[in-house]
A and B are shown apart, each in its own frame.
Chain A
Amino acid sequence: MTQDAKLFGYGGRILRVDLSKAAVRVEPTPEKMAREYLGGRGFVAKILWDELPPGVEPFSAENKVVVASGPMSGLFLPSSGKIEMGTKSPATGLYGEGNMGGHLAGELKFAGYDAIIIEGLAPKPCYIMIDDDKVEIRDAAKYWGKGAFETEKMIKGDLGEDFKVATIGPAGENLVVYAVVSHDFGRQVGRTGVGAVLGSKKVKAIAVRGSRGFELADSEGAYKKGKEMFDACFALPGFEDWTPYGTAGVTDWINDIGAFPTRNFQTGYFEKHKNINGAMLKDRILILDKGCTACPIPCGKYSRFNYKGRLIYVEGPEYETIALMGGNLALESIEEVAYANYVADELGLDTISAGSVIGFAIECLEKGVLKPADVGRDVKWGDTDGVAWLLERIARREGIGDILAQGVKAAAAKFGKGSEKFAMHVKGLEISGYESRYAPAMMLAYMTADIGGHHNRAWAITYDAAVGQEKIEGKAWKVIELQHVRPLFDTLGLCRFPWVELGFELHHYADMFALVTGWHYSWEDLLRVSERIWNLTRCFNRREKPDFGRADDLPPPRWMEEPLPSGAGKGHLMSRENAEKMLDEYYALRGWDGNGLPTPAKLKELGLDFVLEKVKLGA
Chain B
Amino acid sequence: MEYFPERKGRYELEFEGPTSISGLLERLGVGRALVMAAIVDGKRRDFEYEPPDGAEVILITPPAGG
Contact = CB atoms under 8 A, between A and B. Distances in A.
B is bound to A: yes
Interface string A409-453: 000000000000000000000001110000000000000000000
Contact of B3 (A252, A462, A500): A462
Contacts, number: 72
Contact of B66 (A432, A461, A466, A469): A432
A242 B63 contact: yes
Contact of A241 (B3, B9, B60): B60
A238 B3 contact: no
B58 interface: yes
A433 B42 contact: no
A318 to B, nearest CB: 5
A391 to B, nearest CB: 19
A462 B35 CA distance: 9
Contacts of B33: 256-257, 465, 469
A506 to B, nearest CB: 11
Interface in A366-382: none
Interface of A is mostly: helix
B36 interface: yes
Indicate the size class of the contact surface on chain B: 10 to 19
B37 interface: yes
Interface string B1-27: 101000001000000000000000000
A418 B36 CA distance: 38
B63 A501 contact: yes
Interface centre among B3, B39, B61, B64 (most CB of A within 10 A): B64
Contact of B31 (A252, A256, A465): A465
A253 interface: yes
Contacts of B61: 462
Contacts of A249: 36-37, 63
A250 B36 contact: yes
B63 A250 contact: yes
Contacts of B65: 247, 250, 254, 319-320, 323, 433-434, 455, 459
B34 interface: yes
Nearest to A251: B65
Interface string A516-544: 00000000000000000000000000000
A253 B31 CA distance: 13
Contacts of A501: 63-64
A247 B34 contact: no
Indicate the size class of the contact surface on chain A: 20 to 34
Contacts of A466: 3, 31, 34
B54 interface: no
A463 B2 CA distance: 10
Nearest to A503: B1
A237 B37 CA distance: 12
Interface string A307-330: 000000000001110010000000
Contact of B62 (A237, A462, A496): A462
A51 interface: no
B44 A241 contact: yes
Interface centre among B3, B33, B61 (most CB of A within 10 A): B33
Contacts of A252: 36
Contacts of B44: 241
Interface in B48-66: 58, 60-66
A240 interface: yes
B39 A462 contact: no
Contacts of A250: 36, 62-65
B66 A319 contact: yes
B60 A462 contact: no
Nearest to B43: A241
A555 B3 CA distance: 27
B49 to A, nearest CB: 15
Interface of A: 237-238, 240-242, 247, 249-250, 252-254, 256-257, 318-320, 323, 432-434, 455, 459, 461-463, 465-466, 469, 496-497, 500-501, 503
Given A249-B37, A500-B64, 18 more contacts: A242-B63, A250-B36, A250-B63, A250-B64, A253-B37, A254-B62, A254-B65, A320-B66, A433-B66, A455-B65, A459-B64, A459-B65, A462-B61, A466-B3, A469-B33, A497-B63, A497-B64, A500-B63
Interface of B: 1, 3, 9, 31, 33-34, 36-37, 39, 42, 44, 58, 60-66
29 contacts: A237-B39, A237-B58, A238-B60, A241-B37, A242-B63, A247-B66, A249-B36, A250-B36, A250-B64, A250-B65, A253-B62, A254-B62, A257-B33, A318-B66, A320-B66, A434-B65, A455-B66, A459-B64, A459-B65, A462-B64, A465-B31, A465-B34, A465-B62, A469-B33, A496-B64, A500-B64, A501-B63, A501-B64, A503-B9
Give 8 closest A-B pairs by Cβ, nearest first.
A320-B66, A466-B3, A501-B63, A465-B33, A500-B64, A253-B36, A459-B64, A237-B58
